[in-house]
Amino acid sequence: MKILLLTDGKAGHENQSRAFARALGGSFEIARVSFKSRAAKAASYVLDRLGVQTGALFEIDPPADASGGYSVVVGTGSGVFYAVKTLAKRLGAKCGVVLYPRGYSLSGFDCVLAPSFDRPAKAPNVVEIPANLVAGDEEFYAKGVEAFLAHRGATGTSNAGSGKGATAVIVGGPNKCAAMTPAWMRARLDEIFGENQGREMWVTTSRRTPRDVEAVVDSYPWDYKLIYSKDTFNPVPAFVALAGRLYVTAESTGMLSEACTSGTAEVKALDNLLSGNNKYRRFVDALRRDGCIDGASKIDLSLQFDAAKRLMGL
């Protein structure tokens, strides 16, 4: 089975598509898709509702045609939903998407893997999943650990031990539903250091972390620290694989999904969410209820993937 994986170039979307393709089985090839203009994307919603699929609205690189022998087309995100449906119809292939295709008709998608926190519509072709998909496998995490150990030595933090059982902190950043201030960060880090005395301490910030918050993070006595504005190396796979306890800011749905799906760490959410009912709050509350936060449970998507395969006739 050959799978055509359409990507909008966003790593978070492409990784979820990779996870979906890997779960379906077979090999996959990746093509980059983009709408020709904002007007073209706006038109796609209208045309889709009218049952019209046309390749005139988007560009694909490399081009895909029937000679590729694709039997499945997959993709994640609003930038590829229309193209997935259009190309699947043209190629006579099954199609599946990750995330709820809000604004598009569900008709024409064989399977939609939609996070529960997005409150997807109930439909025969919609399979609810408790978190974002995670593309990593054992080889991925092994390579992540190897790269981390090399990076740690090269950056002068080789005084740390093997890392197994460390306490790790992943810091995201503010958004419309979450705040992040230096005072909040300092209070959380004081709590974390107080709760984890005697343990090896690691931290990474991200591209979304404000500089004044990074300054607070930088001031604490970490055994390993990655300040993203200074160094863009990604230690998260190693954190997930090695840590015994893992703190993640609550707005980081992708990082929480990975932490609660992989590794063996006890996961804790650093709650920086604003008041009100939003998808981040629903997500964190569900993970806590299921024992994935402040507990030992890990997310298992095998039943959801089995349902997806049945919908796609695989």
Per-residue pLDDT at 163: 58
Answer yes or no: are the C-beta atoms of 61 and 34 closer than 8 Å: no
Class of domain 2-130+302-311: alpha beta
DSSP string, the chain: -EEEEEE-S-HHHHHHHHHHHHHH-SEEEEEEEEESSHHHHHHHHHHHHTT---GGGEEEES---GGG--SEEEEESTTTHHHHHHHHHHHT-EEEEES--TTS-STT-SEEEEEGGG-PPP-TTEEEESS------HHHHHHHHHHHHHHHHHTT-TTS---TT-EEEE----BTTB---HHHHHHHHHHHHHHTTTS-EEEE--TTS-HHHHHHHHTS--SEEE-TTT-----HHHHHHH-SEEEEETT-HHHHHHHHHSSSPEEEEE--BPSS--HHHHHHHHHHHTTSSSSS-----HHHHHHHHHHTT-
pLDDT, mean of residues 93-120:
95
pLDDT score at 155: 67
What pLDDT, on the 0 to 100 scale, is given for residue 64? 86
pLDDT over 90 at 276, yes or no: no
Q: How many CB atoms lie within 10 A of CB 288?
A: 15
pLDDT (0 to 100) of residue 180: 96
Q: What angle do CA 60, 63, 69 make, to 5 degrees?
A: 125
What residue ranges do the domains of the chain occupy? Answer: 2-130+302-311, 138-289
Percentage of the chain surpassing pLDDT 70?
Answer: 97
Alpha carbon 161 to chain centroid, angstroms = 29
Average pLDDT over the chain, rounded to an integer = 93
> Does the structural domain 138-289 have CATH classification 3.40.50.1950?
yes
Dump pLDDT digits (tens) for 36-87.
999 999 999 999 999 999 999 999 999 888 888 999 999 999 999 999 999 9
- What are the tens digits of pLDDT across the range 243-263? 999 999 999 999 999 999 998
pLDDT for 295 equals 87
pLDDT at 26 over 90: no
Task: Give every CB contact of residue 86 below 8 A, 6+ residues apart in sequence.
Answer: 53, 54, 55, 58
d(CA 32, CA 5): 9
Same CATH fold assignment for domains 2-130+302-311 and 138-289: yes
Main-chain phi, psi angles of 96, to 5 degrees: -140, 145
CB atoms within 10 A of CB 142: 14
161 has a pLDDT exceeding 60: no
CA 96 to CA 312: how far, in whole Å? 8
